[in-house]
Structure 1
Amino acid sequence: MELEFPARKLLVRLVYTCHIMCLVTSQLTKKEDIEKSLQIIHDVATSNLGELCVTTQFSPLYVPLDTTKFEATRQKADLAATLLLDLGISHHNDLQDVIPKDLIVSDINIISARVLAINSSTRELRNCIWWQRQGLEMGGPTKLKEGIPEIGQKLSSDYPWYADADSTPSLRSPKFISSPPDISYRGWWTFPYYSCSARKWLMSYSVSIPPPGRHGLKGFLSLDVDISKFEVNQCEMKLISTPTEIEAFHGSHKCHNKTSKCYYKPTKTYMSWTRGSYQCVCRDGYYSPHHNGIFNGTLVEVAFNAMKENSSPFWGDIFHCLQCAPGCETCIGPQPCLATYHWAFRVTLLIFSVTCAICTVILIIYMFRHRKLKVFKVASPIFLAITLLGCATMYLEMAAIFPVLDMYSCIATKWSRHLGFCITYTALLMKTWRVSLTYRVKSAHKVKLTDKQLLQWMVPILLVMLIYLSTWTLSATPAAEVITDSVGLKFNQCTYNWWDHSLAIGEVLFLAWGIRVCYNVRNAESLYNEARLISYAIYNIAVVNIAMVAFHLLIFPKAGPDIKYLLGFIRTQLSTSVTIGLVFGPKVVRVLRGQGDQWDNRARSRGVTASFSLNGIGLVSEEAPDLYQENEELKEEIQKLAAQIEFMKIVHMETNNRHVKPKIGGYFSNLNAPVIHSPLSKQGCLLSKPPEEL
């Protein structure tokens, strides 16, 4: 049992190998037969008959034809053969004459029919009734008067419709094709052949009529069908093809399948049996500098045969289509279809942007190391860090749009652009909005807005942006589409749809609210001029984004990928880098000069105390109170009150004592008219009249 299984396995492999070899051999034989048949068709079409019609009277093609198209004709022949068999072929000569004339040749598809009576012993031809169909103007079928050669090898070779049953058992001669599967015919169809006498392409159906015994006459009935109207279509078979096409020739064209496609072009003449009745047309994505990419099938056939026989390179050089440049669906030449990416230029901009992002992160670390300094402390370090984080995110957009855009890079582009903008702009706006609320307070009561409270307002805004971007990514994932520039070159760009438009409208409204808040605090005073610088940054963000949208839509609507990348770089630098420069530049400069822990004397001189800062007027700090700072502020307030009391005393004394004349050079002298600065006013008051007139 252990030896049977390997032996069986080896036998199965051997049978499988033999089967494959038989299939390959069959395909090669079939291909050779088709090529020989095509050569015969070409010789007949060009009247280059050669030996045909000189030494032989017919030449079979050995390619099968669908015989079911002549089913009615076959049934007539089988019926006639049955009648002759039942009634006897030796006693009814009139019947032999009537059947070919009136029953068979009357069919419009049949051009000739014949009935032979042959002595089964001597193989001598005893009788031959042969009728041929002529045109209707001739009055119907005509009986041939010429005789036929003696029965024997000559008859068997000169006529395609005859084969002796003694030499070919059951009439399985190579002249006949196999019957269709699961269908029983009384006779056999011949292969298509060209008849030199009829000058047409024919097929014959032959039926043998056996004798009643060993001796006697055996009959042979055959008919010829005109198939000259059939078409030799060498292109690939289509789903819907005409019933007159010979399926055996499908796929026998000589077009280069990879680069060109075959299109059947039937001839306008009656002679439809021609080789090369097609055109080879370059496929999409290929072109040819010769003949506009359309090649005549006859020339292709000649060039292919020359390549096979003489190794001529003409077929490969002329009739092969060349591949278009990358990205071209169709083309007429080697011109490029894709826009060129100048990678050195793009890498330079990318390196600069990534360097800016790294510097932004370094600035965050630097700020936290010096967060105890007054210049950072009064400006809310947590919001400064959030602002820098958003700027770093916006810088990374240049990395997202750097490569050839696809779905993943488009997703990264949308997230880095919109999320970075939302983080940066919201952090700046929260600080400005706090100033707006505290600046508009008219009472002595302090408004307590801490960083924690502002973060509670900021988180919902960021959460809405995160939900929107997540829904956008999952439901309608941003993808890249192919667009063309001003010269027709293609490149990828992220799609813009109603998701982009809706978000753009929301961001414009958000910018409009920020501009309104900045306008409300235009006269607000703060330490280190923080409020005004943030307002300038918000104005700059709005102007840059609106200007870049106008550039894209109006000035550079058909810009190439490098120009669009440059515009993105300019927008990022003008909005992000300028924001960092306005908000953080003065602070870093003060720290580098060693003035980071000193108060803004210019703001203090205008009456701005340490608590009157961007954190809010009267902001209650979340940290432990600084007693030294509070003492300094109390001293300032006491000094101001003392100055006010002294000023009022002098004014009251001069007013109630009119006899007291002002001293020359004094406060109330008409000659000097000094400028008196009131502690209650930020601007000086010019007393142009003496106290008596006041």
Structure 2
Amino acid sequence: MNVDMFMSGREVLKYALYLQLLSHVSSYVVNYTIHTPALVFKEFDAEITTPTEETGQHRDVIAEFLEIVEKYEKNKENCTAGTQYNLGQGVIQQYGKNRFRKQALEAVTRANFLTRIWMKASPEVLNSEYLFYTQVRSMVEGDPVIFAAGNCHDKEEYKNYYLFCPYAYRTENGQINVKDLSVEYDYLGNDSEWFYMARMSASKLENFNFTVGTAQYRHNQTMQGPLTNESAITVTYDDGHWSLPYFDCGGGYIWMMTYTVPFFGYKNGAFKFKGTSGIDIALQNVDIDQCPLPPGSTEQNVFNNSARCKTDTTQCEPIQGLGFRRGSYKCLCKEGFYFPDITSSQKYFNGTEIENEYAKKKKGEPSMYDKGFNCLPCAPGCDTCEDSSPCVITLNWLQRSVILGISGLIMCCIPALVWFTVQYKDVKVLKAASPVLLRIVLLGAFLLYCPLIVGYFEASVLTCCLRFWFREIGFSISYGALLLKTWRISVVFRVRSAQRIKISDADLIKRLIVVVLVFAAYLTARTVARPSRVVEGRHVGGLKAFQCSSDWWDHSAAIGELLFLLWGIRLCIVVRKAPSEFNESRFISWAIYNETLLSLFLNVSMIFLQDPFPANPDLLYLVIFIHANLSTTVTLTFLFGSKAYLVYKYRGKNQNEVQHTTMVSKGSKHTYGHKSPTLATDNNTTDANSTYEKYGNKQKDAGESESLLEKDIQEEFRRLYTQLELLKQRNMKIGNRHLQHKLSAMTEAAQKEDSPDSTPTSPNMNGKRVVINLDDYHESTTL
């Protein structure tokens, strides 16, 4: 043996101990003793701490083992005949007992055949060496997985030969060669485990089965011979033994595993050990697996987790057919990573190349191991990829930033409008519109703009939930306040009794709180039962698009909003002819009509923008921006535009001049034409009041003052007369005859007072005429 080229048998067995220690054995003692004189296996003791995967010792031991395998195969011509160079027990458990059972049964069948041959065959048959050579050849020819087969006899058990072992094996060119293996080396030596273990097993005959049967051999051409009973010892698969993997120097010159089972001779009415029937499996046909075991696997594999793949970006996959050598794996890119060479047809790193580079690193030579063999990360959002191309629609952050900036400027106007309602709360144009309710509308409008803030960022569970909450709560506050204001007008306008109806702002706020709580309860139920999710879809361009989920909860909310707005439309129709200062009810009606149409359009458009392909998130963000401004911004313009204009126009002027400009809804049935006596009366009364306030304190002529007072009284009676006529007409329609006489009497009294011949009268107190100033009378307009 070339000592410089190969390690000693002690060193090789030391590595075998390492592998057995990797199979959860803390110490190992090899102590083989044979009962044949002068044949004893060497004894080695080892106490080595079990290496751990964390320290890398496991990988290093396996790597050194496989380096020995490669070294022996490259320099097999310098080896010494024998099988003393062997590997660990774990290989047997993984490959021998599990994978090659079928081939081992061929040796079992041959052993039972030889037992019967040596029991009753004629000497001519037993002396035919060609018969035994043909038997082993047929075993190799019958199964391509079997590398070699042999029937090795014990010492001096065949003719006058010391040993006899017919052996057939495959050559490198694929041919099958037959020879007597015992000529090249003595398999009774201390390095032939496969023969020793079979011999030891055969020493206890009581452990084997005996089969009993009958035989009837032919006597002549027309008659069978007598029926005889036959009994023979038989072996099974479990009676055989798989050897440690070893380098067969002198035989096949390869690394192999051997399965042997004893066969028996028959002498003096008793069976005895005659030899072994065995097969050899070339380890070049055995694919080792250096990859980590799957989770939960209980398979024994001494080579597991010895691959050198970069586990951060790659994963190991064994390669079949490369045989018993290191690097029989490939490192594939994990999901979310791609192979750096996008033009390569092989999208993986070869294990052999990785092992060579790692070996260079261990020796201190220049190596690419540390800097290479890593996959590159895919673009954000890609599960798998072949290059760095994006898989997700790239958001147009410039466009979104411009939209967010414009929305921020609009939202900054809301605090200014709040200040406006506080600063001019005593001005009639604001006072008539209930400043408190206007501020509540502004609060709801602020919340309606908030989805534009959370929608600016990429879709997530949090942003989806916040957007839904802001939208629904803002809608309930803003449009709930507007609808309740309209409802108050409708209640007061439709009352038919003489009793005064009073609904204060506090009453409306209480009802608004109930509306908001209903919306909040729905949102809470939705958030708990099925919170918003981020769904993934494929855009028409093939790229991924992420957006907030839309399910029946969202559709129910949209339907609820629509029903709420339809109720508002009904109220707007009811109050369309009601008198309204500064056209307040008209502007509210326009806002409700506008929101109804836009909400319906938005919900329908969202269906088409999401199915079957999701729209670009930038487009959805733009749609939300347009909807917010065409609805909320337009509503604020309707409510505060005219008020701001009137306050600015009459800023610093007399309050009466502002009141004089009070606008009444043109669609009201209480609006009169230019020839209406009531309108003339109102205008005259207003002129008289203004004249009296302007000149009353400066007039010195009491007669002129009394004339003005009498004129005012006449105008007041004329106005009352007109109202009584209207009441009379209504009363006649409903058939209240008794009230009609009373109204007729009051009308006659008014006409008599208004006749030219009558002398105007006025109350006297202590002989002096009392002047009644009608300007001090203000009818309550509180609803």
Query: How would you bin the TM-score normalised by the shorter chain?
Result: 0.5 to 0.7
Tell me the residue number matched to 1:578: 634
Counterparts of residues 172-211 of structure 1 (less than 5 Å) = 189-194=243-248, 197-198=251-252, 202-204=256-258
Aligned partners of 1:261, 1:41: CA distance in 2, in Å? 25
Amino acid at match of 1:127: Y
Q: d(CA) in 1 for partners of 2:248 and 2:300?
A: 15
Residue 114 (str. 1) matches residue 152 (str. 2): yes
Q: CA deviation at 1:398?
A: 1.9
1:367/1:240 CA distance change after superposition, 3 Å: closer
Deviation at 1:425, TM superposition (A): 0.6
Q: 1:451 to 1:27 in 2, by over 3 A?
A: closer
Q: What is the correspondence of 1:290-301 to structure 2 with a 5 Å cutoff?
A: 290=341, 295=346, 299-301=350-352
Distance between the aligned counterparts of 2:178 and 2:339, measured in 1? 58
CA drift at 1:529: 1.0
Q: Matched residues in 2 for 1:389 and 1:636: separation?
A: 47
- Taking the TM superposition and a 5 Å limit, the aligned residue runs for 1:665-684 are none
Query: Is structure 2 residue 647 aligned with structure 1 residue 587?
Result: no
Encode CA deviations 1:619-656: one digit per residue, 9 max, x unaligned. xxxxxxxxx99x99xx999635336879999xx99xx9
Structure 1 residue 502, shift from structure 2 partner: 0.8
**Which residue of 2 is the match for residue 538 of structure 1?**
592
| Superposition deviation, residue 568 in structure 1 | 1.8
Separation of aligned partners in 2, 1:345 and 1:377 = 41
Query: What is aligned with 2:235?
Result: none
Distance 1:322 1:424 in 2: 52
**Alignment partner, residue 381 of structure 1:** 435
Give the match for residue 567 of structure 1: 623
Q: Separation in 2 of the partners of 1:28 and 1:356? A: 63
| C-alpha distance 529-25 of structure 1, shift in aligned 2 (>3 A) | closer
State the alpha-carbon separation in 1 of the partners of residues 349 and 434 from structure 2: 86
- Residues 53, 196 of structure 1: 8 Å contact kept: no
Q: How much does 1:57 deviate?
A: 5.0
Deviation at 1:585, TM superposition (A): 1.9
Aligned-residue offset at 1:428: 0.4
- 1:237 aligned onto 2:237: no
Q: Deviations over 1:561-604 (max 9, x none)?
A: 33322222222222112111111222223223426955553547
2:660 maps to which residue? 601
Displacement after TM superposition at 1:364 (Å): 2.4
Q: Distance in 2 between matches of 1:111 and 1:542?
A: 91
Aligned to 2:360: 309
Q: 1:505 to 1:61 in 2, by over 3 A?
A: farther
Matches of residues 405-554 of structure 1 in structure 2 within 5 Å?
Answer: 405-441=459-495, 446-554=500-608
Q: What's the counterpart of residue 65 of structure 1?
A: 92
Deviations 1:46-84 (A, max 9, x none): xxx54214544578462432155589979x99xx9xxx9
Query: Are the counterparts in 2 of residues 429 and 514 from structure 1 also a CA contact under 8 Å?
Result: yes
| Structure 1 position 350 matched with structure 2 position 404 | yes
Tell me how far apart the structure 2 counterparts of residues 304 and 558 of structure 1 sit (CA, whole Å).
Answer: 48
Consecutive unaligned residues in structure 1, runs of 5 or more: 1-14, 85-93, 119-124, 136-141, 165-183, 209-218, 613-627, 657-694
Pairing partner for 2:163 from 128, 138, 162: 128
* 1:453 to partner: Cα distance: 3.5
Counterpart of 1:338? 392
Q: Distance in 2 between matches of 1:604 and 1:205?
A: 112
Report the secondary structure of 2:149's partner residue. strand
Structure 1 65/426 Cα, relative in aligned 2: closer, same or farther at 3 Å? same
Residue 233 of structure 1, CA deviation: 3.6
In 2, the alpha carbon distance for the partners of 1:479 and 1:279 equals 39
Q: Give the letter for the 2:502 counterpart.
A: K
- Corresponding residue SS for 2:466: helix
**For 1:354 and 1:297, how far apart are their aligned partners in 2?**
51
The reply on whether 1:51 has 2:110 as its aligned counterpart is no
- The separation in 2 between residues aligned to 1:637 and 1:397, in whole angstroms, is 60
Partner of 1:676: none
- Cα distance in 1 for partners of 2:286, 2:431 equals 96
Identical pairs, percent: 27
Which SS does the other structure have where 2:535 is aligned?
strand
Contact 2:595-2:631 within 8 A present in 1 as well: yes
Q: Give the whole-Å Cα distance in 2 for the aligned partners of 1:294 and 1:637.
A: 107
Looking at CA atoms only, which structure, 1 or 2, has the larger radius of gyration?
2
CA deviation vs aligned residue, 1:209-233 (integer Å, no higher than 9, x gap): xxxxxxxxxx997764322354334
CA distance in 2, matches of 1:247, 1:523: 91
Q: Is the 8 A contact 1:260 1:321 kept in 2?
A: yes
Matches within 5 A, 1:144-163: 145=180, 147-148=182-183
**SS of residue matched to 1:522:** coil
Distance 1:484 1:596 in 2: 66
Alignment of 1:396 onto 2:455: no
Whether the 8 Å CA contact 1:280–1:294 is kept in 2: the answer is no
Which string of whole-angstrom CA distances, capped at 9 and with x for unpartnered residues, describes residues 447-506 of structure 1?
Answer: 433334433433332221121112222222223333444434445422211111111111
Partner residue of 2:335? 284
TM alignment of 1:26-41, pairs within 5 A? 31-32=59-60, 34-35=62-63, 38=66
Query: Residue 415 of structure 1: CA displacement?
Result: 1.1
Q: Secondary structure at the match of 1:548?
A: helix
CA contact (8 A) 1:266 1:272 kept: yes
Q: CA deviation at 1:327?
A: 1.1
Task: Flag structure 2 segments of 5+ consecutive residues without an equivalent.
Answer: 1-25, 27-46, 116-124, 171-176, 198-237, 263-272, 672-688, 694-710, 726-746, 756-783
Cα 1:544–1:112, aligned 2, differ >3 Å: closer, same or farther? same
Q: Distance in 2 between matches of 1:511 and 1:289?
A: 59
Say whether the 8 Å CA contact 1:371–1:381 is kept in structure 2.
yes
Amino acid at match of 2:353: V
Decide whether aligned partners of structure 1 residues 412 and 33 sit closer, same or farther in structure 2, where only a CA change above 3 A counts.
closer
Q: Which amino acid aligns with 1:548?
A: L
Structure 1 residues 587, 71: closer, same or farther in 2, change over 3 A? closer
**How far has the Cα of 1:376 moved from its partner?**
1.7
Alignment length, in residue pairs? 559
Distance 1:256 1:605 in 2: 82
Aligned in 2, Cα 1:220/1:415: closer, same or farther, shift over 3 Å?
same
Contact residue 232 and residue 246 of structure 1 kept, 8 A: no
The normalised TM-score by structure 2 is 0.58
SS at match of 1:128: coil
Aligned to 2:715, which of 614, 639, 658? 639
Distance 1:240 1:195 in 2: 39
The 8 Å contact of residues 459 and 548 in structure 2, kept in 1 or not, is answered as yes
Identify if the C-alpha distance between structure 1 residues 526 and 540 changes in structure 2 by more than 3 Å, giving closer, same or farther.
Answer: same
Q: CA deviation at 1:511?
A: 1.3
